[in-house]
Amino acid sequence: MIRRLSQDPSFWAALLAGPFTWGLLTFSKDTAPDLLWPLRSPLPLLLPGLVYPFLEELVFRGWLQGWLWQHASSRQRIGPVSWANLVTSVVFAAFHLLQHAPLWALAVLPPSLVFGFFRDRYQRLTPAIILHSFYNTGFFWLFTTG
């Protein structure tokens, strides 16, 4: 599976979308990011970069999307997005309302659809966990002061 994943141009495009998005978001920030803070104190990056993505993917894409996928109607697609992925991503974005302002919670929806796309494509959590960890690590590295 890892070999197939490493040869999947869609997966590489999804990985590259992270740094592209971070670059665009840096224009919305008043100050330049301190890129060295994780080297001084890496612990604040562990939860959002590794632990949260792993746990969220287990719950949302592993349990909820997997459960929805078992129902034939949830396998129907709107373009590349399954109904199981769409429902899971909406619930995932709504879950982020507990910690984020509505606009930031809504901003979680597009990456969630990407994570769910790869969950559907490979019928495994590994690609979604890799992407989620990568996106979160880059975002928190750039937009958190440690």
Note the pLDDT of residue 146.
Answer: 52
**Domain presence at residue 24:** no
CA distance 38 to 146: 7
**Domain presence at residue 1:** no
Note the pLDDT of residue 1.
Answer: 65
Reading the block at residue 72, the tokens are 């034939």
**Domain presence at residue 35:** no
> How many structural domains is the chain composed of?
1
Question: Along the chain (146 residues), what's the average pLDDT of each consecutive run of 10 residues?
Answer: 85 95 77 64 76 96 95 86 96 94 93 97 96 90 69
**Domain presence at residue 4:** no
**Domain presence at residue 31:** no
Note the pLDDT of residue 40.
Answer: 67
**Domain presence at residue 124:** yes
**Domain presence at residue 115:** yes
CB-based contacts of 84, cutoff 8 Å, min separation 6 = 65, 68, 69, 71, 74, 75, 116, 120
**Domain presence at residue 8:** no
- Virtual torsion, Cα 140, 141, 143, 145, nearest 10 deg: 110
CA distance 121 to 109: 18
Domain housing 96: 43-146
Q: Is the C-alpha dihedral spanning 67, 72, 74, 80 positive or negative?
A: positive
Residue 84 has phi, psi (to 5 degrees) of -60, -45
Note the pLDDT of residue 115.
Answer: 98
